[in-house]
Amino acid sequence: MKNVSRLLAILAFTLLIPSTYSFELIDLGVNPETGMREVRVDIPDLPEGAVPLDFVLIPPGKFTMQLGARTCEVTLTHPFFLSKYEVTVAHWTYAGGVPHTAINQQDNYPQTLVNWYECQDFVGRLNRLGVGEFRLPTSAELEYAFKAGESECWMDAIPRGTTPASTHPASSIPLPVTQDTSNAWGIFDSARGVSEWCQDWVDQSWPTEPAVDPQGPANGSFKITAGCNFAYNNVGDRGCCSKLRFGVPTEGPNNYGMRLVMIAPESFLKKWEDYK
């Protein structure tokens, strides 16, 4: 019955958008636990119990980006909304309107088995909803948000061997997106989710000089992925959740997924006196 309801919702989405479906951007205010501003894209017919599509307002700032054995001082000059959770099966199905196979088809598991171009198609469908401009994050934006103002990601700061082996063992399937601990800014899944596709191509000669809002090269053969994923044994793996990996953009392995950046409409941002 649940599968029938899902298919009916998808069919309705496909036939009726944008005439009868209304996606809304909701201001959730300041999260008292993190002090960060949050918003929600309200998705019609999202199943009961499904994790909402929430975003955290990430402030501009500076940080040291880790590039293998090299480091680079990076400045991000603009605030941006980053999705609080990795894109789930429910998000992909009910916001994107096109179902896709995943390693686990339950609503709150991350959408996997998607390549970089399929992620771009999903982003394109979201951009037709009229609630904001969506895109994949750059690798700099992801690492900055994962570190949350610290020199290391929270997972990276755990000395090897001090975390019980049962906490972050390698696995054959991902966890639901709410099952891991968030960082100080309220971002989940950086240490135990999927490898997340980034917007930028791999730059094998990434400069070590200071960079401002780096976007990566204009073209290439591989796309960057970031974050730990469930297939790795992440127990005390220093540098894991900020570690950059490379992926073939036409391939969608079972441990690859995505997270979203959103630029909210100007009319919405005008309500936020602290948005600079």
Q: In the predicted model, is pLDDT for residue 167 greater than 60?
A: no
Under the banding of pLDDT at 50, 70 and 90, the label for residue 14 is very low
Q: What is the pLDDT of residue 133?
A: 94
Domain hosting residue 46, numbered range:
2-269
Per DSSP bridges, beta strands 61-67 and 53-58 are: unpaired
Q: What is the pLDDT of residue 96?
A: 82
Phi-psi region of 86 (alpha: psi -120 to 50; beta: other; left: phi over 0): beta
CA distance 205 to 235: 30
Q: In the predicted model, is pLDDT for residue 161 greater than 90?
A: no
In a domain, 274, yes or no: no
Q: What is the pLDDT of residue 5?
A: 45
Query: Per-residue pLDDT averaged across 145-173, rounded?
Result: 58
More confident site: 223 or 205 = 223
Phi-psi region of 220 (alpha: psi -120 to 50; beta: other; left: phi over 0): left
- In the structure encoding, which two tokens stand for residue 231, read together? 């297939």
User: pLDDT digits over 253-262, tens only?
Assistant: 888 999 999 9
Q: In the predicted model, is pLDDT for residue 251 greater than 90?
A: yes
In a domain, 275, yes or no: no
In a domain, 68, yes or no: yes
Please tell me the total count of domains within the chain.
1
Q: What is the pLDDT of residue 201?
A: 93
CATH number at residue 17: 3.90.1580.10
CB atoms within 10 A of CB 9: 18
Query: Per-residue pLDDT averaged across 126-152, rounded?
Result: 91
Cα torsion 165, 194, 212, 276 to 10°: value is: -100
> Which region among 6-10, 195-199, 228-232, 254-258 has the lowest average model confidence (pLDDT)?
6-10
Q: What is the pLDDT of residue 68?
A: 66
Order of strands, sheet of 61-67, starting from the edge strand that comes earlier in the sequence: 61-67, 70-76, 211-212
In a domain, 207, yes or no: yes
CA distances from 216 to 118, 142, 224, 233, 265 (A): 20, 14, 10, 29, 26
In a domain, 155, yes or no: yes
Q: What is the pLDDT of residue 270?
A: 64
CB atoms within 10 A of CB 177: 27
More confident site: 275 or 214 = 214
- In the structure encoding, which two tokens stand for residue 183, read together? 């960082």
